[in-house]
Structure formats: structure tokens, C-alpha cells
Amino acid sequence: MRLPGRAMIFGTGLMGASIGMALRERGWQVGGVDTADGVAARAVELGALNDEGIDHRADLVVVATPVHAAPQIIAGIMGSTDWKPGVVVTDVGSVKGPLVSAIDHPSFVGGHPMAGSEQVGVEGASGDLFVGATWVLTPTEVTDPAAYALLRSVLADLGANVVALDPARHDALVAVVSHVPHLTAATLMDLAAGMGQEHAALLQLAAGGFRDMTRIAAGQPSIWPDICDDNAEAIVSTLDLLIDALGAMRRRVAERDHESLLEILGRAASARRTLSERAPQPEELVEVRIPVPDRTGAIAEVTVLAAELGINIVDLEIAHSVEGDRGVLVLVVDTLSAPTLLATLSDRGYRASSTPVGTSG
Amino acid sequence: MRLPGRAMIFGTGLMGASIGMALRERGWQVGGVDTADGVAARAVELGALNDEGIDHRADLVVVATPVHAAPQIIAGIMGSTDWKPGVVVTDVGSVKGPLVSAIDHPSFVGGHPMAGSEQVGVEGASGDLFVGATWVLTPTEVTDPAAYALLRSVLADLGANVVALDPARHDALVAVVSHVPHLTAATLMDLAAGMGQEHAALLQLAAGGFRDMTRIAAGQPSIWPDICDDNAEAIVSTLDLLIDALGAMRRRVAERDHESLLEILGRAASARRTLSERAPQPEELVEVRIPVPDRTGAIAEVTVLAAELGINIVDLEIAHSVEGDRGVLVLVVDTLSAPTLLATLSDRGYRASSTPVGTSG
């Protein structure tokens, strides 16, 4: 298909309306609906949608409703002949495993834009929300490579850093970097607030560090029961790890174990400083060409592998080899990452080759 | 004494040099020393000190050395006749109980400026560091009211919000809003970094909320063994509360207890939002006059009481009543807080009265 095309958005709150704005700024025709009265009309007013209503001619459908409403909408589209054949469908939920295994369709690719905002609802929407944000996609072995490549290129065009992950792996990782941190921030805030009722002075002492740590606890509580249900296993096991680690911290303090205290605080400090550094911007890029003749799930396997190796895919396309019937997956990565990627692909039985960008035939 | 006067700073790192700059900007003559080679000389170059060296004529001494070095320096000043009689001494340590009970002198008032900076050392010093920051003082029943009033007015002049607390209470409260949050941030960061070694993708998912929560973990590890030793009891008991509360959170997630999950997240969200609101700026101020004829420790009792009631003391001075030999403590507070303060003071046996600011004789 030719891009930009037509997009349809279910749920035009903060996330859906922001996607609408970003797509429209890039020339897409965007339709949308929302179950809450007046929200889709407001999205039209704010420029997030061209029109309110369901557009069955859409090339891309984004389901940005509350998590519990998404499976039925997506299954409805996949099971209907009203929609354009091959329409690519994605969602924006924070937990991917249960949804992705329930849908299991070549044209559905689960998504999770890791962009937040202090704002809530359609009024807080912004077309810039995704610039520089990580946007996880969860292709599986049934995913149509063309659907994945389309969605990936649209999201990269919105400014997002697209990372492919296995759905279960995504859920385990976000438990660590998002769900448990949120629950911990809320727990700390509640502990302090409880003491603050007796000691008004306490909240006067809440300085920058405490404010930083508890900022996310100010977020909308209503989304959390769904997230906690869908990702219960990973959240519970991460909470167990955190509780154990805090118990070890308690022991270090109680036993005046300076050596071990300095070790963990030093390790955490250097890890945190690394997190602040921007990834090095490679001067040179390389095209890695990977023939994928008859391997189902090759696009999922290759893109997930790159993410697990920490390799950023700058560009991705599906080309066709001279033989005509064989696909070639073309990834653009930086020069330094290419040898690792090639070696790992070779271990997995792929016959990949690389050429500097600009010189390939 | 007439202000500004002469100040002497022991330890001219980030905190000491920032205090030096702020005092010099207000006309003080500031001397200082540092045990690290060249640091005091650099503080002179940066304008934080007039001169390097010990100034025995100082009216105010600030001990801003690492915590373990402070008791000996302060005890040395208190036990020496080299210094100006009545010199007021304070410190900037994060734990107050052990130090304040070890010194126990009328002219020593423990202090804890709750101002931080991403910067480290003398190079990061700034005269604006304390504007709007909470600065805890810990007067006790032996504290000389004149020493307290002098120090309080100097710190308020630097832009700090001065809060008086009992030393042990201070330590219990900072365990909740500072020490345990720091240890928790480091624990979360270390947990994520450990998983990140296996899964390079994890750190790509570390979005804004995680970055906010772990920012303080990037701080200097070396100060923490002293803090943890000095405040071990409060830190251990707060860690116990946190571990229990996280266990309760784990139970809510495992048992899909939506009601209880929404309750705690909602309570935390509204507490966090309250924290973001600025304290209301009262239109009108009231002078509360408290005769303190023969009560040792009245200044500590009254100022700590105000802080426990969450009442901000806008100004404080020691006046003398017409009888000549009786002190009168004059607090300026906002109109809305005055009745609570008066009633509580009355319960404690004080005969306080109030008049709108500007009309008192």
C-alpha cells in the first residue's frame, strides 16, 4: 500500500488522540470513535481526527480503549468481512501476553507505546507524545512480515524507537521497569501520607528526591486493576524479588555491613548514570540482508533477537530476491552492532550478509 | 550582635561552599577550611570564601564536613576559649539525634538543609541552593533562645524555609522521606540492572517513570554508611513497614483484590497531588507573643510544636517585656494558623496572645 493511508482509532483519549494528531500531521486520513459522550467529537475539534465514525476502508486500526475492552474489538475486526482485506491492527495496552495469544492473527501486531504524560484524556493529547519514546511491538510466529514492516515504519515515522519483543518477555520486563515501580511509588507515598497525618512536619521534609520517586503515584488509579490482573504473575514475582532485596538492604543497615552497602549503592549509581547517557550515535550504518525463504515467524525471530542483543534497528523493509518467490528481510543497523547480529543469526541458521548503506545493489 | 557578621565554614564542598556564597552575597565576611588539598583555595577563587583559614572571631560556625568528622570539630570549638564567647555553631548532617545529644551545648543548634544538587563538590556550589528549601533545626531544652533566633534569621535570609524539630523526630521522619526512598531507588535500579545484563532490551524500556524513581540512586554512595549507622534504628523500622506494605500489595495483586488496590492507589494519588500544591500564601499575618519567663527549653518546645502542627513560622524574634527580666518569644504566623497555635500553647501552660502584624506595640 501507499503511505500515508487511512487510519481508524478506537478510543480517542490521551493515547488515541495523540496517535491521531501525529498521523494527521503526516498526511493520514484519520477516523475514530469513543464510547464516552462527546470525546470523539472533541478529538475532531482538536484536530486529532478528520471525522467521527467507523472507517471500514482503513489500512491501519489502532485500538486505544481501556485494556478490558480491546480483545472484543480486535476479535470483531478480525472476524468480520466489513473491513479492508489485510487491514493491520494494533493496540496500546501495557500487558501483551494474554491479548496476543487470544488474537493470534497474521495482521494483528500487539503494541505498547511507553510514553506517558502528566495530562489525562483527549485534552492532554499531543502529536509529539511519541518522539523519542520506546514503542514495543510483539510480533509472533504467525505475524505477517508485511503487516509488521508497515506498522514499524509508521511508528518510526512518528518518532518512536520501535523495539520488538516476545509478548511474555515484554510483560516480564515491564513488571520490573514500570508496574512494580508504580506500585512501590504508591506504597511509599501512602506510608508517608499515613505518618504525615500525625506529623504535619513530615510532608514539609519531602524534598526533591522523594517528589521524584513518588511522582508516578499521582497517576490515574483506575487503569491498574486490569494491568495487575493481566500481568499478575510477573508483578508478583518481581514484588517477591524486591521484597527479598529490601530485606537484604535491611540486614546491611542493621549489621552495619558497610562493604556490602557500598557495593550495592555503587553498582546502582553506575547503572543509573549509564541509563542517563544517550546511546552513541553511530557514524555509519550497515544493511543486513537476511533471506527468509520458507521460515514462518522469521520476522518475529529476527526482530526480537535484535532487541535482546540491545541492537537498535534503524530501518526495516521486506525486499524480494531475484528468484522472485523468496523474501529478503533488510535491517539497517549501526556498523558496530552488525558483526554480533550476523554471528548470532548464523548460529540460528540464517545466511545473512551485510553491506554499508548506500552501496548495496 | 549586628548582622551580617563573620562566619567560619569547616568543609567547603558542595554544601559548605554554597553556604559561603549565599552568606557573602548578603554581606558576610566568610572564612573556611577543608582537609582536602586545594578545595578551600578553590572556594576562595569561586567567591565562596573571603579567605582560607580558621577565623576565631566568627559569630557563626557552620560545620559542613563529612558526618563522621563533625562531632570532634564541634566539641573542639565548644571546649576551647580561642573562639568568640557565645559563638553560634551549627552543622548540616542528615542525622541529628546522636550528634545533638553528644554535644548538648546552649550555643550549638543542629541543622539539616534539605537541598540537593546533581552537582558534586565545590565546583557545583551555588548561592541559590537554599532558596525555597526546607532547613531543619533541632533546638533542645538547653538551646540558648538567642542562638536559635540568630541562626533562624540567617537561614531565613538565605531563602530557606526553617522548620524546628526534635532531633529524634527529625531522624524518624527523614528515614521515611529520604533515607528509605534512597535505599529503595538503589534496590530497584540494581534489580533492573541485574536483569538488564541478560536482557539488553530491558533498559530500552526504562521510561520516564522509572527514570524519575531511580534518579536519586545516581548520588554519591560514600555518604551512606555513616547515615545508615547513625540512623539505623529508624531506617530499619521504616524498611520493615515498607516490606510489610509491599507484601500487602503483593497479596492484592495475587488475589485480584481490585477494591483494596483501588483504595490504596487512590489514597496515594491524592496524597501525591496534595504534595504538589504549593502551601496557600496567607494574605494576612499575625504576631503571636509568648512570654517565656522562666521556662528552660521554651524556644525548642514552641518552635517544635509549631512544626508538628504544620504551622509555618514566617518570622521569629526574642523581645523583652516591660518588666525587663522576662523574655517574650514573638512568632509571626498566618491568620488561619494562629487560633490552633494559641489553643495548643494554652494547653501546654503558655499565656500567649496575638495581634495582627503592624498593629502591635
Contacts of A163 in chain B (CB under 8 A): 201, 204-205
pLDDT (mean) for A307-327? 74
Binary contact (A173, B247; C-beta < 8 A) = no
Binary contact (A204, B163; C-beta < 8 A) = yes
The confidence band for A192, taking pLDDT boundaries of 50, 70 and 90, is very high
Measured CA to CA, the distance from residue B242 to residue B251 in angstroms comes to: 14
pLDDT at A266: 95
Kindly tell me if the per-residue pLDDT of B361 is higher than 60. Answer: no
pTM of this structure: 0.81
The confidence band for B284, taking pLDDT boundaries of 50, 70 and 90, is confident
pLDDT at B358: 57
Q: Which residue has the higher pLDDT, A198 or B300?
A: B300
- B104, B140 Cβ separation under 8 angstroms: yes
Binary contact (B275, A206; C-beta < 8 A) = yes
pLDDT digits (tens, 9 = 90+) for B208-239: 788 888 988 988 898 899 999 999 999 999 99
pLDDT at B283: 60
Measured CA to CA, the distance from residue A32 to residue A12 in angstroms comes to: 7
Contacts of B229 in chain A (CB under 8 A): 256
Binary contact (A245, B191; C-beta < 8 A) = yes
Mean pLDDT over each residue of chain B, to the nearest integer: 89
For domain B6-165, the CATH superfamily is NAD(P)-binding Rossmann-like Domain (3.40.50.720)
Q: Which fold has domain A170-249?
A: 6-phosphogluconate dehydrogenase C-terminal fold (1.10.3660)
* B78 in reach of chain A (CB within 8 A): no
Q: Which residue has the higher pLDDT, A76 or A124?
A: A76
Kindly tell me if the per-residue pLDDT of B80 is higher than 90. Answer: yes
% of chain A with per-residue pLDDT over 90: 59
* B336 in reach of chain A (CB within 8 A): no
Interacting residues of A356 by C-beta distance below 8 A, sequence separation 6+: A284, A285, A286, A287, A335
Q: Which residue of A has its CA nearest to B247?
A: A243
Cα three-residue angle A117-A156-A145, rounded to 5 degrees: 125
* B98 in reach of chain A (CB within 8 A): no
Kindly tell me if the per-residue pLDDT of B359 is higher than 50. Answer: no
Burial class (CB in 10 A: 0-12, 13-18, 19+), A307: buried
Binary contact (A245, B187; C-beta < 8 A) = yes
pLDDT digits (tens, 9 = 90+) for B154-177: 999 999 989 999 999 999 999 999
Contacts of A234 in chain B (CB under 8 A): none
Measured CA to CA, the distance from residue B183 to residue B94 in angstroms comes to: 14
pLDDT digits (tens, 9 = 90+) for B313-353: 888 888 765 555 567 888 888 888 888 888 888 888 888 88
Return the closest-CA partner of residue A110 out of A132, A142, A81: A142
Measured CA to CA, the distance from residue A83 to residue A104 in angstroms comes to: 18
Lowest-confidence pick of B25-39, B124-138, B229-243? B124-138
pLDDT at B201: 77
DSSP A254-281: HTT-HHHHHHHHHHHHHHHHHHHSPPP-
Lowest-confidence pick of A104-113, B102-111, B129-138? B129-138
Measured CA to CA, the distance from residue B99 to residue B111 in angstroms comes to: 10
Cell digits for B317? 524574634
DSSP B238-258: HHHHHHHHHHHHHHHHHTT-H
pLDDT at B196: 78
- A333, A352 Cβ separation under 8 angstroms: no
Phi then psi for B83, rounded to 5 degrees?
A: -90, 160
Binary contact (B220, A269; C-beta < 8 A) = yes
pLDDT at B69: 93
Kindly tell me if the per-residue pLDDT of A295 is higher than 50. Answer: yes
Q: Which residue has the higher pLDDT, B338 or B244?
A: B244
Return the closest-CA partner of residue A180 out of A131, A245, A135: A245
Find how far residue B111's CA is from the centre of its chain: 6
ipTM of model? 0.80
Top-level CATH class of A285-356?
Answer: alpha beta
Domain positions in chain A: 6-165, 170-249, 285-356
Max CA pair span of chain B: 77
pLDDT at A115: 82
pLDDT at A106: 94
pLDDT (mean) for B71-97? 95
The confidence band for B105, taking pLDDT boundaries of 50, 70 and 90, is very high
Kindly tell me if the per-residue pLDDT of B279 is higher than 80. Answer: no
Q: Which residue of B has its CA nearest to A183?
A: B249
Measured CA to CA, the distance from residue A249 to residue B272 in angstroms comes to: 26
pLDDT (mean) for B20-43? 97
Binary contact (A184, B211; C-beta < 8 A) = no
Grid-cell match 529476527, residue found:
A302
pLDDT (mean) for A275-294? 71
Mean pLDDT over each residue of chain A, to the nearest integer: 89
pLDDT at B8: 98
Pairing of strands A161-164, A285-291: unpaired
Kindly tell me if the per-residue pLDDT of A220 is higher than 90. Answer: no
Contacts of A201 in chain B (CB under 8 A): 163, 165, 169, 173, 307-308, 310
- A357, A335 Cβ separation under 8 angstroms: no
Sheet holding B315-320, edge to edge: B315-320, B327-334, B285-291, B353-356
pLDDT digits (tens, 9 = 90+) for A151-184: 999 999 999 989 999 999 999 999 999 999 999 9
Binary contact (B267, A193; C-beta < 8 A) = yes
pLDDT at A360: 40
Burial class (CB in 10 A: 0-12, 13-18, 19+), A19: buried
User: How close A93 gets to chain B, by Cα (Å)?
Assistant: 14
Cell digits for B310? 504544620
Question: Does domain B170-245 sit in CATH 1.10.3660.10?
Answer: yes
